[in-house]
């Protein structure tokens, strides 16, 4: 092979001499190295789809199992402590208060064993696991919580039915928001569900509060505690959903589940435990309201 000025031969490859230009082999190696470098983009940011799967046996299962244990303990404690109640109104309240965490317990056992899990494709993020058993739980327990508040103050049945219907619509539209694959639609349905929730809050804070005042000071004072607890905890639900994987993805699925566990235990078992301690529940002394209307006994 003839020598070329400025270039020295090394086997079958050429190398750059101090006075020469880049060789063919050097250019090829540089091009290969550049191809191996990927530009930094938003796709390299950790994506919710890459978070650990919530399969049975994972950390989320342990969180759900803890929630099931707390809810089961609460339901059993309320049921045992309410045995022997003689007042008819108190008996109804205790039965509802024990039923609420019992239903939630069944939902949590289902979720902890992998029942009712579907993968929902979220635009730009890939599939995110959805536990629809949680929504089945809310569809039953949130109306029952409204019934507890309604029975406590002997609410008008028509108004109570309207509140329960609005509550069911709130849960249904929340599920639609979760199942929506288009981000814009997801936030629109979340807004619809949240606006309906405001109607439910109006019923609790305005309509039921007026009914409680008609029953006297002790019942009104007890209702303020239940009303405040329900309002604060229920308001946290849509906010927490918005921060979760189906919203802004600010928290991981395990953290989201842990937050819902705390909210569910406080709301569903906490109100029942407060009912057990309330003197306004079992006195059974009020037979008429301050406006003269009789208190329902059936």
Cα(11)–Cα(111) distance, rounded to whole angstroms? 67
Structure token digits, residue 251: 């928290």
Residue boundaries of the structural domains of the chain: 47-282
- Return the pLDDT at 52: 43
b/e per residue 25-51 (b: at least 16 CB within 10 A):
eeeeeeeeeeeeeeeeeeeeeeebbeb
pTM: 0.75
Contact of 276 with 102, CB cutoff 8 Å: no
Per residue in 185-216, pLDDT tens? Answer: 999 999 999 999 999 999 999 999 999 988 88
Give pLDDT, residue 216.
83
Q: Cβ of 266: how many Cβ atoms within 10 Å?
A: 16
Query: What pLDDT is stored for residue 241 in this prediction?
Result: 94
Burial of 204 (0-12, 13-18, 19+ CB in 10 A): buried
* 146-184 b/e (C-beta count within 10 Å ≥ 16 → b): bbbbbbbbbbbeeebeebbebbbbbbbbbbbbbbbeeee
| Spans of the chain below 70 pLDDT | 1-57, 122-126, 282-298
Looking at residue 15, what is its pLDDT? Answer: 47
Residue 192's pLDDT is 97
Q: Which CATH class is domain 47-282?
A: mainly alpha
pLDDT at residue number 246: 84
Say what the pLDDT of residue 71 is. 97
3-state secondary structure of 107: helix
């Amino acid at each position: 092979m003839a020598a070329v000025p400025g270039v020295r031969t090394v086997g079958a490859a050429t190398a750059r001499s101090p006075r020469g230009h880049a060789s063919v082999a050097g250019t090829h190696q540089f091009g290969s190295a550049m191809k191996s470098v990927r530009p930094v983009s938003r796709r390299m940011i950790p994506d919710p789809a890459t978070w650990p799967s919530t399969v049975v046996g994972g950390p989320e299962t342990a969180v759900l199992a803890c929630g099931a244990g707390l809810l089961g303990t609460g339901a059993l404690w309320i049921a045992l402590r309410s045995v022997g109640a003689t007042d008819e109104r108190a008996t109804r309240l205790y039965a509802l208060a024990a039923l609420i965490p019992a239903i939630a317990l069944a939902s949590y056992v289902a979720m902890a064993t992998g029942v009712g899990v579907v993968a929902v494709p979220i635009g730009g993020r890939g599939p995110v696991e959805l536990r629809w058993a949680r929504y089945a739980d809310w569809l039953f327990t949130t109306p029952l919580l409204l019934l507890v508040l309604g029975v406590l103050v002997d609410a008008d049945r028509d108004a109570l039915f309207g509140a329960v219907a609005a509550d069911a619509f709130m849960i249904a539209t929340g599920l639609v928001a979760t199942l929506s694959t288009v981000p814009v639609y997801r936030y629109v349905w979340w807004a619809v569900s949240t606006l309906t929730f405001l109607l439910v809050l109006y019923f609790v804070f305005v309509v039921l509060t007026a009914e409680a005042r008609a029953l006297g000071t002790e019942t009104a004072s007890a209702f303020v505690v239940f009303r405040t607890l329900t309002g604060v905890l229920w308001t946290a639900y849509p906010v927490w959903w918005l921060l979760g994987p189906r919203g802004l993805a600010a928290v991981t699925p395990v953290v989201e589940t842990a937050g819902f566990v705390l909210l569910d235990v406080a709301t569903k078992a906490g109100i029942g435990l407060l009912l057990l301690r309330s003197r306004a529940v079992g006195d059974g002394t009020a037979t008429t309201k301050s406006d003269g209307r009789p208190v329902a006994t059936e």
